[in-house]
Amino acid sequence: MLEARGLTVTAEHLVSDPASQLPTLLPEILAARPPLLVVGSGDGTIATVVDHLAHTDTVLGYLPLGTTNNFGRSLGLPLRLSAAVDIIANGKVADVDLGSVNGDLFANLVSIGVSADVARRTPQALKRHLGRGAYAAAGLRALLTHRPFVAEVTNSGTTWSLATHQLNIANGRMHAGTAIAADASVDDRLLIAYALGGPGRLSTIYAAVHQALTPWQPVERKGYLTGTQFHVATDVPQLVDVDGEIAGRTPIDVKLSPDALRVLVPLDFVDNEMPGRPEVRPCGSS
């Protein structure tokens, strides 16, 4: 499909085990400084790819082939394969932000709490069969036994203390396939921290549903915390889910890496060339 659109493919690599293959394969590929690297995958694989592709001249052409495809949705990419290939052939290059967790780069989202249990427990076969429904089913099951935790999120002298089952820090604009907020962007030079509910399990379900139904509301109205650097500590060490893959435990430092990745996007993708919005404090911050 790429060659039919006039691109010259110089090498092809079939990756069956990204976690073990990519750390060796990607440096070998990028040593030749290719102008374009096309990756067909889900969000978890992209989290590994950007570790190697960030701050290079190689442009990423992305084919969103995962379960939720949050990164692809953040870029405005079509989810139909032929349409996504069209973007690689005829799109434009944009510089988008990345985040980092204790120095490990990621494209979309860091989650602490019940979602980490879901990422650990959801089988690949179930995700292929049910798609995004697999996460919802596994999430409800995990929530039944999950205990709330107390987190302190520190940003530029502001400390946000909360008890919750789920805390997210987003670089991209999407979570679970829906927009986090109307003005969230993958190139707004800001991270967004927000909790899904409080210590009660029903509040977590309500907050998740409310989040999914209010993508049109701006960040400030939702009371989310924005900034470029967060330190997160919890009363009990919690697993950390980075773009669907487990990557250690709290405490963590999450930082923004602005304009870190060159990627092909649709022609109507709006480049945010202005500085990020002013930082916003959530209700209850100190």
Does 217 reside within a domain? yes
Task: Say whether both 169 and 251 belong to one domain.
Answer: yes
Does 65 reside within a domain? yes
Does 275 reside within a domain? no
Q: What CATH number should be reported for the domain holding residue 74?
A: 3.40.50.10330
First-to-final CA distance of the chain: 54
Task: Say whether both 110 and 244 belong to one domain.
Answer: yes
Task: Say whether both 184 and 210 belong to one domain.
Answer: yes
Enclosing domain of residue 85: 3-96
Does 226 reside within a domain? yes
| Mean pLDDT, residues 128-157 taken together | 73
Query: Which of residues 79, 96, 113 is at a domain's end?
Result: 96
pTM: 0.86
What's the CA gap between 277 and 178, in Å, rounded?
Answer: 21
Question: Do the Cβ atoms of 223 and 149 come closer than 8 Å?
Answer: no
Does 267 reside within a domain? no
Tokens matching residue 87: 């973007």
Does 270 reside within a domain? no
Rounded (5°) CA angle 41-47-219: 105
Looking at the structure of the chain, the number of domains it has is: 2
pLDDT score of 52: 95
What's the CA gap between 100 and 160, in Å, rounded?
Answer: 20
Does 52 reside within a domain? yes
pLDDT per position as a tens digit, 184-202: 999 999 999 999 999 999 9
Task: Say whether both 130 and 219 belong to one domain.
Answer: yes
pLDDT per position as a tens digit, 69-84: 999 999 999 999 999 9
Task: Say whether both 62 and 169 belong to one domain.
Answer: no
pLDDT per position as a tens digit, 238-283: 999 998 888 899 999 999 999 999 999 999 998 776 454 444 444 4
Question: Do the Cβ atoms of 210 and 173 come closer than 8 Å?
Answer: no
Q: What CATH number should be reported for the domain holding residue 111?
A: 2.60.200.40
From the number of C-beta atoms within 10 Å of its C-beta (0-12, 13-18, 19+), residue 27 rates as exposed
Alpha helices in 177-216 (DSSP H): 201-213
How many CB atoms sit inside 10 A of residue 103's CB?
A: 8
